[in-house]
Structure formats: C-alpha cells, structure tokens
Structure 1
Amino acid sequence: MSEPSKLLITGASGFIGNELFKKLSNNGFQVNGTARQSYGDSIVAIPLDTKDWSPVLDGVETVIHCAALAHVPQSDNGEFVSRVREYNVEAPQRLAKQAKEKGVKRFIFLSSVKALGESTIPSSSYKSTSEYSPEDLYGESKRDAELVLKKELSGSATELVIIRPPLVYGRGVKGNFKALMGLAKKNVPLPFGAVKNKRSLVALENLVSLIIACVKHPQPLNETFLVSDDHDVSTKELFETLTRAYGKKPKLWACPVWLMRFGATILGKKAIADRLFGNLQLDITHTKKTLNWEPPVSFQQAIQICVNHELHSSNKPDNQ
C-alpha cells in the first residue's frame, strides 16, 4: 500500500484552511499546515512574509495556499498598500518559486472573484476566462498574485490551479454575513421585499469539496476555476432563508430599490448598497465539467448548517 499524499496548507487555522485541514486529514492525506501560531505538531508558525518556506516543503506533493491578508480596506497609505502586496502577492510568489524548486506537483491558489470585479450586469455571469477588472485593493492584489504565479510556474513541472470563490459562508463565518445573520435572528422588519438581484455565494462545505476535487484530480491540471453553490440568490431570498432557518417567519416589506440606493449613497454607504442590490453571478459550468464535480450541499442545507452552528455556539456557557 502506497504512502498517503503529503499536502501543505497555508492559513491552516483560518476560516477556510481549518475546515480544509480537517477534511483532508479525514480523507487519508498526510497534511501539514502553517499559521500565525502553532497548533500541535501538524500546524507550525510561519509568517506570511517569511523568506524561507523550505522547512515545510520537503516531500510535499500539493500546496494549497489559503493564507492572505483579507478584509482589506481601501487606502492611499503607501506603507499599508506595500504590506498588502507583501502578503498577498510577493508571499505566494516566493512560496510558488520554492515549491517548484522542491518538486511540488500541484500548487493550488485560493484567489477571489474580486480579481474580476465587483458586479455583473443582469443576465450575465463571470466565467473563468473573463478579463480582470478589480475595483479595490484586495481585488487588485489577487489579480496581481494570479499573474505572478502564472509567470513563475509557466513551463515548469508544477501545475497551477487557481480557484476564485465569491463570498464564502459557513460555520463560524464573520464579517458582513455574520451581521446579516444577526438581523435575521432578531427578525427585524427589513425593506428588501422588492429586491430581485442575483448573487452567487459559496458554502464553506462546497468550497472545501471543490478544493479536495482539485487535490484528487488524477490528470494534469493547469486551470482556473470559479466556484459557487450553483444557486444564485436575491437579497430577499437570502434573508427569507436565513430567517426561516432560525424558525421564524420573515418580515420583509417592499421599498423601491432606487430609493434605498439613493439613501445609501447619501449616507456614504454606496458599496454596501451595491452588494445588497447589485448582481454578482458566476458561471461554474467549466468547473463542473472539468472536474466532474457538483456542489454536495444545497444552499438551503448550507444556510441551516451555518445557523445551527451559530445557535449552538451562542448557547455555550462561555458566551452567555
């Protein structure tokens, strides 16, 4: 019986990396990880700006680079912009270069749909071949990382797989999605009854499943993949599904979208309005066909998993 494949996950203690680490370990892979601090023997502390990744690359067949500086605000501060570039562009390039030199077979890079842009026009979707058009610092850093990785690994024996997810939600989610869950839990009456936009999301379980499919794929794989739940939702449907997952009847009323957009713009919240009322759709046909893959968890199931975890966590004594 052959030895299990050896994998390296960067950002192995993060929202995505931790779930991926557990699933791959349970799938019989030999998994090591890096994070800001050590966790046991399998996850070691290596900062993203390290110049030497060699201690964790020996014998590794596949690298999955999840680590990044996320939730990056717009800034004209040169020092901050340089730090974003150091962590999100130069770090993966250094890791890829050293992985190539160590004979790593496949380098999987977790990018973002933000490398392509922030929105799509109605009845249109981003595809894996869509042109770059990032609109913020984070999206620009992911675009630049993709470009330097393609250049670094071009013509080498190390395959490059790029995965571009939209907003990821799941157990332990934070940020804007956590805030939406809070509103749904309180069942606050909201004016989203007339919102008919379409946005692609991806459940943590589905994203991890797609990454594992890329790890296991037996044929050479130099591809860029978009990923989603394959079920685009409106803000109205999202809130209704979240509220019902909490066992409550949604209280949505209809306010003209143009009026909400106008009010948000006046209040300096245009970006939030764009996410709540605009479209962002991904076409994952290429992903499903190439990998013979389907999202294993439905949107409704994933929302319930997310809500159940939040309810369980909030009922723990430490959180009371």
Structure 2
Amino acid sequence: MKVLVTGATGLIGRRVVSRLREAGFDIRIASRLPQRLAGADDAVALPGADAPQEAFLALMRDVTHVVHCAALNNDRSAGAADFRTVNAMLTGRLAQAAATRTDGRFIYLSSIRAVTGAGFSGTIDEATLPAPQCAYGHSKREGEIKMLEAFATAGRDGATALRLPPVYGEGMKGNLRWLMRLAVIGLPLPTAALTAVRSLVSHDAVAGAVTHLLTSPVPPRPTYVLGDVSPVGMSEIVTAFRRGYGRPARLLPVSGWPFRMLAALTGRQAAWQALVATQICDSSLLASEGWERENDTLGRLEELARQGGRSPVP
C-alpha cells in the first residue's frame, strides 16, 4: 500500500514518513517547498489550492491512503486569507481527489485551535463544541469541515482530523521554541508568569497515531484529540529544559498581581489570559482504541535540550 504524505519535510511530516516506512508502507511525499525534495524517491510538488483538479487527481495515482500534514502554522505572521487558502481550501481539494481516487483513509493534522482559543481554560475532548477564536483556528476548522464533506459527498467514511496541542520534537517552533530560548538564557523567571498547565504531544506520538489509524481494522472516527498522558506546568517545562542544558531552574516565587495589573493598564488582558490559561487535552478516546501515548513528557523535553546543548538554539 502507498501513502501520500503532504508536508513531508516538516517537523511532524518527517517523523510520519519514517514511522510509515518502518511499518512497511510505500511512500509518496509532497511538499509546498519542492526545493526540499531534491534526491527523494517518489517526491512531487504539492499543487496550490487554485491548481486544476487534474493536478490533485494525479497525486492519487496508485495511492491507498493520504496523510495531510502540510499547513500554514500559527507561529507565522500570515493573514486570514493566507491561512484559509492553505489550511482550508487546499485541504478540501486534496480530500475531494482522495475521496474519488483512493479507497483508504484520509488523516488531516488539525489543531485544538479549531475548537478553542488560546485564552480558554479547561479540558478539550472530542465533544468540545468548536469555537475557534483566531484566523488560524478558523482555517483549521474549515479544513476539517471540507474534508468530511468531501468524503460524505462520495458516500465514504475513513476521513479523520487529529486535533493537536503544541507539538514538541527536534526542530519545533512556536511557544515551546520560545521557552527553550528562555532556558538557554538562564535569567531568573517569575513563577507568576508560569502558572499554566498545558497538554503537549510529541511528534513521535503523532506519527504513532497516524500509523495506528492506517493499520487499524476499525474505521476512524471523524475527530480525535491527541495529547501525552499527563499535562505539564509551564514552570516544569522551563525546569526540564534547564536541566537538559545543565542549568539551575532559577524560578522566583513572585505574586501574579503586578503582572495582571500591568496587563490591564496596557490593554493586554487577552495576552495575559493566554499566558496563564490551563488547557488539558483528554486523549483517552484514541488511547482506548490502542494508540500508545507518551508518558514521560518532561524527560523528553529535557533530552531535547540536552541534544540542543550541542548546537544552541538560534
């Protein structure tokens, strides 16, 4: 069986390709950045959202399953139209082609931002009603809808969206990369700004979920929420990174009220709420179906920093 993996040169895509090859799948890789595909076997450029339908159908030649990792991520400064073009329209075009030309499964890597904003505090699971709060979140939710509509129109099941919290692994970006830089600097940090508890997921666990869903005899559900076994505190994340770098934690027991006051005075209450929000992903549904979750998040983060200590974070 052959699997088309889009975004195969990214953080998650690379790990997905590796795991699927280990599982015995043939792979066709596609990227929006074809210069990264030089020398790769069965590698193609991913058409743009406005490409002719024939271009998408050609991608599906001899393909059984599709894993759609390509995306415009939330850590990039893009406009709403850019997010929608890549994350929604392109997903819909791919799903339409897959629904008509393949007989396997379509796995779309979505985000918890498709259902809630950065300032939400609470537990997120498959029953959480979608209420995206940003352009990125709206685009990922629209991508989910277009994927499911394409398969429903073709009278098929087998399409699923994996809603991911922040993903860590070698080459990670976003807030985790920022926290890693803070750990490198080694300056004392106030615990009041690090009270949040968050679910994370390793890129290995995401790749494992994809492999599990492609090999399971049971058709996937429309959505799954992923996350490591236990959420972790922001202060624990920084401490783990600093352990990996061989540095002391250097966290100061400072009250949070001066920071809240400053946020109110400067009109940045939303940014403060996003910083201290606790978001826990309940990933028990997919785990109950046989997916193996990461159970040592802090140990993995420490090891990432230890490896990064050989080549400091830029």
Same fold (TM over 0.5): yes
Deviations 1:214-253 (A, max 9, x none): 1221222233111111211121111112111212221000
Q: Is the 8 A contact 2:192 2:256 kept in 1?
A: no
Higher strand share: 2
- Distance in structure 2 (CA, Å) of the matches to 1:28 and 1:7: 11
Equivalent position SS for 1:281: strand
Matched, 1:60 2:56: no
Which position in structure 2 is the counterpart of 1:21? 17
- Distance in structure 1 (CA, Å) of the matches to 2:298 and 2:19: 21
Q: 1:23 to 1:311 in 2, by over 3 A?
A: farther
- Distance in structure 2 (CA, Å) of the matches to 1:132 and 1:21: 30
Q: 1:222 to 1:190 in 2, by over 3 A?
A: same
Structure 1 position 113, deviation (Å): 0.3
Structure 1 position 300, deviation (Å): 2.2
Question: Please, which moves more after superposition, 270-279 or 88-97?
Answer: 270-279
- Distance in structure 2 (CA, Å) of the matches to 1:263 and 1:43: 51
- Distance in structure 2 (CA, Å) of the matches to 1:133 and 1:150: 18
Q: Is the 8 A contact 1:100 1:158 kept in 2?
A: no
Residue identity opposite 1:306 in structure 2: L
Equivalent position SS for 2:251: coil
Q: Is the 8 A contact 2:200 2:228 kept in 1?
A: yes
Work out which of the residue numbers 113, 127, 130 in structure 2 matches 1:129.
127
Q: 1:20 to 1:136 in 2, by over 3 A?
A: same
Question: Please, which moves more after superposition, 146-155 or 234-243?
Answer: 146-155
Q: Is the 8 A contact 1:112 1:165 kept in 2?
A: yes
- Distance in structure 2 (CA, Å) of the matches to 1:192 and 1:82: 38
- Distance in structure 1 (CA, Å) of the matches to 2:27 and 2:77: 35
Q: Is the 8 A contact 2:119 2:274 kept in 1?
A: no
Work out which of the residue numbers 124, 144, 147 in structure 2 matches 1:146.
144
Question: Please, which moves more after superposition, 184-193 or 94-103?
Answer: 184-193
Matched, 1:245 2:239: no
Which position in structure 2 is the counterpart of 1:113? 112
Structure 1 position 265, deviation (Å): 4.9
Q: Is the 8 A contact 2:241 2:301 kept in 1?
A: yes
- Distance in structure 2 (CA, Å) of the matches to 1:314 and 1:28: 35
- Distance in structure 2 (CA, Å) of the matches to 1:307 and 1:299: 13
Q: 1:120 to 1:183 in 2, by over 3 A?
A: closer
Q: Is the 8 A contact 1:146 1:162 kept in 2?
A: yes
Stretches of structure 2 that go unaligned for 5 or more consecutive residues are none
Identity %: 27
Equivalent position SS for 1:302: helix
Q: 1:186 to 1:127 in 2, by over 3 A?
A: same
The alignment of Structure 1 onto Structure 2 pairs a total of residues equal to 306
TM value normalised by structure 2: 0.89
Which position in structure 1 is the counterpart of 2:206? 207
Matched, 1:303 2:301: yes
Matched, 1:86 2:82: no
Q: 1:73 to 1:205 in 2, by over 3 A?
A: closer
- Distance in structure 2 (CA, Å) of the matches to 1:159 and 1:261: 46
Which position in structure 2 is the counterpart of 1:41? 41
Which position in structure 2 is the counterpart of 1:294? 292
- Give the root-mean-square deviation of aligned CA atoms: 2.4
Equivalent position SS for 1:95: helix
Q: Is the 8 A contact 1:206 1:297 kept in 2?
A: no
Question: Please, which moves more after superposition, 41-50 or 8-17?
Answer: 41-50
Q: 1:33 to 1:270 in 2, by over 3 A?
A: farther
TM value normalised by structure 1: 0.87
- Distance in structure 1 (CA, Å) of the matches to 2:261 and 2:103: 52
Structure 1 position 111, deviation (Å): 0.6
Structure 1 position 102, deviation (Å): 0.5
Residue identity opposite 2:25 in structure 1: F
Structure 1 position 189, deviation (Å): 0.2
Moved over 4 A (4+): 72-75, 119-122, 265-272
